[in-house]
């Protein structure tokens, strides 16, 4: 069976974990966490990056920092993972879902303004498949209405919009290092902080409401409980594992990009013949080959295709049943405007296996099978 995902492994992970063990410092914010934070800051050009226990937690942290309260409304796409909404709903806010653009599957920036009410507090763009949302428009709307922008860049590490890293446009950006992401520690994430004044509050909330980070830097001689907080910092063992992959970030990305390009080129005939639709990358975006998807004609065709590929020992998947139609979505959210594309396009989308070191022969076999399904081999 060709698996849908295999978590990346570069070989150095275990060596670094042993090093962390030998350091006799395995709680958070040791040598490897500092290295990862610094790598993220340099790579993205953000003021401050903090490793977290997940992207979900990074988003929760951002929601606390943005002072999201019961009664607030937060604008986001419905076509996304549950965490995008969870982080805000947990603080008592209502998720206000806006339709997506059918070309990128990202929130339609032109529909955001109509969804804004007196209660709107923030906009949460999700960079689907590591392809940037139209950030110029979104940032202009946020500025005009005095709203915070929290980017769900869970899939967006190494991607850019107009040359600038995803996750660095809004007040906060959230990365994921979940098993299924380009760089992975099983469970993990990071919070990117754009503005100086949010750095210390973020450090405090992440460390149980204490000023421990300041203490570690030698800026104070005792640390204490100074505000509300939680525990959002990962263990050094996780950071050590992650650092091995960040060191090889370019290689991992290039490797995934080769697979992505092989799929794209291999399936182009089918797209030209009007049988499928290939992903669209806007000119001002570079992507990170986080996923390869294409669109079948409709739900029925997609269901048959996935079953057909399964018979050929290929695990292809779909995802994101739109949040507004899920039980919790009905309870904690509402759709603003018309659902023209969210449901329809989500039913057409199928994802092919894509992971670090997926063999070229397997990629070609998968392409051949997709073509066979469409009767063009």
Ligand X SMILES: *Cc1c(COP(=O)(O)O)cnc(C)c1O
- Minimum distance, C-beta of residue 254 to ligand X, in the bound complex (Å): 22
Q: Is 56 in the site for ligand X (CB under 6 A)?
A: yes
SS3 278: coil
CA 308 from centre of chain: 29
Task: Name the residue nearer to ligand X (CB basis): 81 or 241.
Answer: 81
* CB nearer ligand X, residue 36 or residue 267: 36
Query: Which residues, 6 or more positions from 53, have their beta carbon under 8 angstroms from its beta carbon?
Result: 187, 188, 189, 231, 232, 233, 234
Quick one: which segment of 30-38, 78-86, 94-102, 162-170 binds ligand X (CB under 6 A)? 78-86
Contacts with ligand X in 178-217 (CB under 6 A)?
178, 189
Task: Using the rule CB under 6 A, give the single segment among 151-159, 240-248, 263-271, 359-367 that binds ligand X.
Answer: 151-159
Please say whether the beta carbons of 289 and 260 come within 8 A.
yes
| 76 burial level (CB within 10 Å; 0-12, 13-18, 19+) | buried
CA 258, 259, 260, 261 dihedral sign is positive
- What is the closest distance, in whole angstroms, from the C-beta atom of residue 291 to ligand X in the complex? 9
Write 208-211 long-range contacts (CB < 8 A, 24+): none
Q: Does 84 bind ligand X (CB under 6 A)?
A: yes
d(CA 340, CA 123): 20
Which residue of 152, 277, 345, 347 would you call a contact of ligand X, by CB under 6 A? 152
242 binds ligand X (CB under 6 A): no
Binding ligand X by CB under 6 A: which of 55, 68, 276, 296?
Answer: 55
Strands 189-193 and 172-176: antiparallel
154 binds ligand X, rule: CB under 6 A: yes
Q: How far is the CB of 345 from ligand X (least distance, A)?
A: 16
Q: Does 104 bind ligand X (CB under 6 A)?
A: no
**Among 126, 131, 133, 358, interactor with ligand X by CB under 6 A:** 126
Query: Are 260 and 254 within 8 A, CB to CB?
Result: no
- Provide, rounded to whole angstroms, the least separation between the CB of residue 376 and ligand X: 32
Q: How many residues bind ligand X (CB under 6 A)?
A: 14
Residue 268 is classified by DSSP as H
Task: Verify binding: residue 36, ligand X, rule CB under 6 A.
Answer: no
Q: Which of 16, 32, 79, 81 binds ligand X (CB under 6 A)?
A: 81
CB 153 within 8 A of CB 167: yes
Nearer to ligand X, 318 or 373 (CB): 318
Which of 10, 120, 155, 253 binds ligand X (CB under 6 A)? It is 155
Residue 321: partners with Cβ closer than 8 Å, 6 or more residues away: 346
Check residue 2 and report its DSSP letter: B
| Angle in degrees, CA 324, 178, 17, rounded to 5 | 165
Indicate whether 86 belongs to the interface with ligand X (CB under 6 A): no
Is residue 80 a contact residue for ligand X (CB under 6 A)?
A: yes
Residues engaged in binding ligand X (CB under 6 A): 54-56, 80-81, 83-84, 126, 152, 154-155, 176, 178, 189
């Amino acid at each position: 069976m060709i698996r849908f995902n295999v978590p990346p492994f570069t070989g150095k992970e275990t060596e670094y974990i042993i090093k962390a063990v030998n350091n006799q410092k395995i709680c958070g914010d040791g040598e490897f966490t500092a290295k990862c934070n610094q790598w993220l800051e340099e790579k993205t050009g953000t003021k401050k990056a903090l490793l977290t226990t997940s992207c979900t937690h990074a988003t929760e942290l951002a929601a606390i920092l943005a002072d999201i309260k019961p009664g607030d409304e937060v604008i986001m796409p419905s076509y996304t993972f549950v965490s995008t909404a969870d982080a805000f709903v947990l603080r008592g806010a209502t998720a206000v879902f806006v339709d997506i653009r059918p070309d990128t599957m990202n929130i339609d920036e032109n529909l955001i303004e109509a969804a804004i009410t007196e209660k709107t507090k923030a906009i949460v763009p999700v960079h689907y498949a590591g392809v940037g949302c139209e950030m110029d428009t979104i940032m202009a709307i946020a500025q005009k209405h005095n709203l915070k922008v929290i980017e769900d860049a869970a899939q967006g590490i190494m991607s850019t919009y107009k040359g600038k890293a995803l996750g660095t446009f809004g007040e906060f950006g959230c990365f994921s290092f979940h098993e299924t992401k380009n760089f992975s520690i099983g469970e993990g994430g990071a919070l990117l902080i754009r503005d100086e004044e949010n750095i210390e509050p973020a450090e405090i909330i992440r460390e149980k409401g204490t000023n421990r980070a300041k203490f570690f830097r030698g800026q104070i001689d005792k640390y204490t409980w100074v505000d509300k907080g939680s525990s959002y910092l990962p263990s050094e063992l996780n950071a050590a594992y992650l650092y091995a992959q960040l060191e090889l970030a370019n290689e991992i990305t290039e490797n995934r990009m080769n697979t992505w390009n092989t799929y794209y080129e291999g399936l182009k005939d089918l797209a030209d013949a009007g049988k499928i639709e290939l992903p669209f990358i806007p000119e001002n975006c570079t992507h990170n080959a986080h996923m390869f998807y294409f669109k079948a004609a409709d739900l029925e065709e997609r269901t048959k295709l996935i079953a057909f590929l399964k018979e050929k020992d290929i695990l292809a998947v779909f995802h994101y049943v739109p949040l507004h139609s899920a039980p919790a979505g009905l309870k904690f959210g509402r759709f603003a405007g018309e659902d023209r594309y969210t449901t329809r396009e989500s039913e057409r989308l199928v994802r092919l296996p894509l992971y670090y070191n997926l063999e070229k022969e397997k990629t070609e076999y998968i392409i051949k099978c997709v073509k066979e399904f469409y009767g063009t081999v």
